């Protein structure tokens, strides 16, 4: 145990990338202990990515990249400006609403920060906001990406915990709404304190148009269910509802209807049992290609190639971490390290709520040092069995874990969102870190609510029949 954990921590301190550190530490433990054949290293690493649910990872990443090059990001921004730009601190509110919509396509905080975050920071700076304010609100809103479905961390957690990924996606909806409201309230408070004004003129026409777009998107599943209720088959009903939606969009040229439809298609399809999360991710790619090639005609062979290679690069890095973390987690289990740690935690408390407080503190610390995917892969085999013993629902535990690790993305030394925004805003890491600190208040408030009010997470998947 000491060899495994000690070598891993030593390599991390020396600045070795986390995936390589886990792989080297695992190999060192196998060679020194002699408890398992060295060929196990390769076998377990391959087994770590030999999973059908993991196919969702490249599809979701590709869908987010395709949405970016399809010009959807700019349309989302225009829609958010029409909806909330007239409020005090308008562009800060736009930043949050834009991230809510974009998170329904990308599934990652980093894609959110690098995609629509680039547009939002530039617009806020052009309207007189300081770079620190623009970076702070963008960083906070980027954490919505993995909470509001689809979500890559949920896919990894679901695979590791043998939990329904569809139920995890549904479980993230209400917590995502809670986080959004907390962030918008924070913007409103800061706007009063710092005398921020609105950034666009109040217009009933623009608000009405934006409201109509939301109503059309929400009306899509209602129309589909209505057609099914009158006796049409599922495929015919969905086809007619989709044809009506496309006709309205072509005629009125709405700004964000097609983007808003992405999470509706994904969540609705999984809830109705029409496809698995992996198939939903593939559907998101097809939808993205339709928007870029047919609806908006904004994709070229060059941009499509770039999106593909960006996806390959990101997927390779994610899956490399998964392979290294899988052997590391397996060795933690077979060496009884996981059991020793579990016993140590249980010796401290048998109370569910005290345990969750300790988990929050531990994950906030881990999130500052470990990549999200690696942290989930390592920590789930240790903490989830304890959570189940104490009566914590695995869906609820997955939300708590993911939100903690998202907050960790905003902190040095390994906070990827921190470094992305530092580069985008041309600020030092130190100034970016200080800019983010005030915006942690709504995130910690949301974390507190999600931890101690399990129904925020469990009510929707229970109501939709995905859990008991």
Residue 92 pLDDT: 87
Tens-digit pLDDT profile for residues 216-242 = 887 887 888 788 888 887 778 888 888
Tens-digit pLDDT profile for residues 118-139 = 777 878 888 888 888 888 888 8
Q: Which residue has the tokens 């069995």?
A: 385
In sequence order, what are the residues at sequence separation of 6 or more whose Cβ sits closer than 8 angstroms to the Cβ of residue 369? Answer: 12, 408, 413, 414
The 3-state secondary structure of the chain, one letter per residue = CHHHHHHHHHHHHCCCCHHHHHHHHHHHHHHHHCCCCCHHHHHHHHHHHCCHHHHHHHHHHHHHHHHHHCCHHHHHHHHHHHHHCCCCCHHHHHHHHHHHHHHHHHCCHHHHHHCHHHHHHHHHHHCCCCHHHHHHHHHHHHCCCCCCCCCHHHHHHHHHHCCCHHHHHHHCHHHHHHHHHHHHHHHHHHHHHHCCCCCCCCCHHHHHHHHHHHHHHHHHHHHHHHHHHCCCCHHHHHHHHHHHHHHHHHHHCCCCHHHHHHHHHHHHHHHCCCCCHHHHHHHHHHHHHHHHHHHCCCCCHHHHHHHHHHHHHHHHHHHHHHHHHHHHHHHHHHCCHHHHHHHHHHHHCCCHHHHHHHHHHHHHHHHCCCCHHHHHHHHHHHHHHHHHHCCCCHHHHHHHHHHHHHHHCCCCCCCHHHHHHHHHHCCCHHHHHHHHHHHHHHHHHHHHHHHHCCHHHHHHHHHCCCCC
Residue scoring higher pLDDT (152 or 357): 357
| pLDDT of 58 over the 70 cut | yes
| pLDDT of 457 over the 90 cut | yes
Tens-digit pLDDT profile for residues 350-389 = 899 999 999 998 888 888 777 788 888 888 888 998 999 9
Residue 111 pLDDT: 63
Report the predicted TM-score, pTM, of the whole model to 2 decimal places. 0.82
């Amino acid at each position: 145990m000491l060899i495994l954990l000690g070598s891993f921590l030593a390599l991390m301190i020396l600045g070795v990338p986390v995936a390589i550190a886990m792989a080297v530490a695992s190999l060192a433990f196998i060679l020194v202990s002699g408890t398992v054949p060295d060929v196990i290293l390769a076998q377990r690493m391959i087994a770590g990515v030999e999973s059908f649910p993991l196919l969702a990872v490249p599809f979701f990443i590709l869908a987010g990249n395709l949405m970016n090059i399809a010009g959807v990001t700019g349309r989302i921004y225009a829609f958010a400006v029409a909806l909330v730009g007239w409020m005090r601190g308008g562009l800060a509110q736009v930043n949050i609403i834009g991230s809510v919509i974009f998170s329904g396509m990308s599934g990652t905080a980093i894609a959110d920060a690098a995609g629509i975050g680039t547009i939002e920071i530039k617009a806020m700076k052009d309207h007189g906001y300081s770079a620190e304010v623009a970076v702070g609100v963008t960083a906070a809103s980027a954490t919505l990406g993995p909470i509001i479905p689809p979500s890559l961390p949920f896919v990894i957690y679901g695979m590791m915990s043998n939990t329904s990924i569809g139920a995890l996606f549904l479980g993230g909806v209400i917590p995502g709404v809670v986080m959004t409201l907390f962030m918008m309230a924070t913007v409103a408070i800061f706007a009063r304190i710092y005398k921020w004004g609105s950034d666009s003129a109040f217009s009933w026409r623009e608000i009405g148009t934006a409201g109509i777009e939301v109503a059309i998107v929400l009306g899509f599943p209602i129309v589909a269910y209505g057609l099914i209720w009158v006796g049409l088959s599922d495929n015919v009903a969905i086809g007619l509802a989709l044809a009506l939606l496309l006709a309205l969009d072509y005629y009125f040229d709405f700004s964000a209807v097609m983007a808003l439809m992405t999470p509706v298609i994904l969540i609705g399809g999984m809830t109705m049992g029409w496809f698995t999360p992996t198939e939903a991710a593939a559907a998101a790619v097809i939808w993205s290609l339709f928007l870029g090639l047919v609806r908006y005609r904004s994709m070229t062979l060059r941009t499509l190639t770039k999106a593909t290679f960006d996806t390959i690069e990101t997927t390779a890095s994610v899956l490399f971490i998964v392979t290294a973390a899988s052997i590391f987690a397996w060795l933690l289990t077979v060496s009884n390290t996981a059991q020793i740690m579990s016993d140590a935690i249980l010796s401290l408390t048998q109370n569910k709520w005290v345990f969750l407080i300790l988990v929050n503190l531990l994950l906030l610390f881990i999130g500052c040092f470990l990549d999200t995917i690696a942290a989930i892969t390592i920590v789930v085999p240790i903490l989830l069995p304890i959570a189940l013993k104490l009566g914590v629902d695995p869906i609820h535990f997955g939300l708590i874990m993911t939100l903690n690790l998202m907050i960790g993305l905003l902190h040095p030394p390994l906070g990827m969102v921190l470094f992305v925004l530092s580069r985008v805003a041309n600020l030092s890491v130190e100034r970016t870190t200080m800019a983010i600190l005030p915006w942690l208040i709504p995130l910690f408030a949301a974390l507190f609510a999600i931890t101690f009010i399990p129904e925020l997470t469990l009510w929707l998947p229970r109501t939709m029949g995905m859990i008991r």
